[in-house]
């Protein structure tokens, strides 16, 4: 009877925390790393993006022998030492990628570049600092609105209670508001800029 009471109590507490029991259990048995973060979009008058117009390929790599053998094909040469150092610590490494991978130990995802080559009107949009806060332009004026649409893309992998990654566990990506459609619409037109 006592076990049943604790079981019901656990389910109720999990429900109050805003998730179902399987979500709570999954989050406790995984190790994750942030792959990319985003904030609200800035759109032109026709709801076409002015920022986040470009993407890059980003890899999440689980430490194992198969991953190490694929590093040269996957990772730009200048990033190999830092990736190897992270993998040597038994952690998931995140880096730019030269190729698309969708394997158990290596996954790639397209991540947004906020101010890429195809972004327009930088004199109007402004820019953000290292903490993701607007410094000038629309980024500064509407900082709170754009921050309210912030999100992250995380790579997760099954782990033991000690935090060590499980050998057979697969890397998965989890979006928590990453690249949400929310943002600010301007009166600027992409075609006229």
* CB within 8 Å of 2: residues ≥ 6 apart: none
The answer to whether 167 touches 65, Cβ cutoff 8 Å, is no
**pLDDT at residue 150 tops 90:** yes
**pLDDT at residue 176 tops 50:** yes
Exposed, middle or buried, 177 (CB in 10 Å: 0-12/13-18/19+)? middle
**What pLDDT is stored for residue 32 in this prediction?**
93
**What pLDDT is stored for residue 25 in this prediction?**
47
In angstroms, the CA 48 to CA 181 distance is: 11
**pLDDT tens string 100-109:** 989 999 999 9
Please report where in the chains the tokens 């610590």 appear, as a residue. Answer: 89
Q: What is the pTM of this model?
A: 0.79
Please report where in the chains the tokens 């754009």 appear, as a residue. Answer: 146
**pLDDT at residue 4 tops 80:** no
For helices 80-88 and 65-74, what crossing angle results, to 10°?
A: 170
**pLDDT tens string 68-113:** 888 888 888 899 999 999 999 999 999 999 899 899 999 999 999 9
**What pLDDT is stored for residue 192 in this prediction?**
86
**pLDDT tens string 11-31:** 555 555 554 444 444 456 899
pLDDT-wise least confident of 12-21, 112-121, 148-157, 161-170: 12-21
| pLDDT, mean over the chain | 87
**What pLDDT is stored for residue 28 in this prediction?**
66
**What pLDDT is stored for residue 15 in this prediction?**
54
């Amino acid at each position: 009877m006592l076990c049943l009471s604790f079981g019901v109590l656990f389910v109720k507490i999990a429900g109050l925390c805003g998730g179902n029991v399987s979500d709570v259990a999954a989050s406790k048995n995984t190790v994750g790393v942030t792959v990319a973060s985003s904030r609200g979009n800035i759109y032109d008058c026709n709801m076409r993006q002015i920022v986040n117009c470009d993407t890059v390929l980003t890899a999440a790599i689980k430490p194992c022998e198969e991953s190490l053998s694929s590093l040269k094909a996957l990772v730009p040469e200048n990033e190999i030492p830092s990736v190897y150092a992270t993998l040597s610590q038994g952690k998931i490494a995140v880096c730019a990628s030269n190729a698309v991978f969708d394997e158990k130990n290596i996954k790639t995802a397209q991540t947004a570049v906020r101010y890429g080559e195809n972004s327009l009107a930088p004199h109007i949009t402004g820019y953000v600092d290292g903490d993701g806060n607007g410094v000038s332009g629309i980024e500064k004026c509407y900082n709170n609105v754009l921050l309210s649409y912030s999100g992250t893309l995380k790579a997760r992998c099954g782990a033991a209670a000690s935090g060590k990654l499980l050998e057979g566990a697969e890397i998965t990506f989890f979006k928590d508001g990453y690249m949400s459609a929310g943002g600010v619409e301007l009166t600027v037109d992409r075609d006229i800029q």
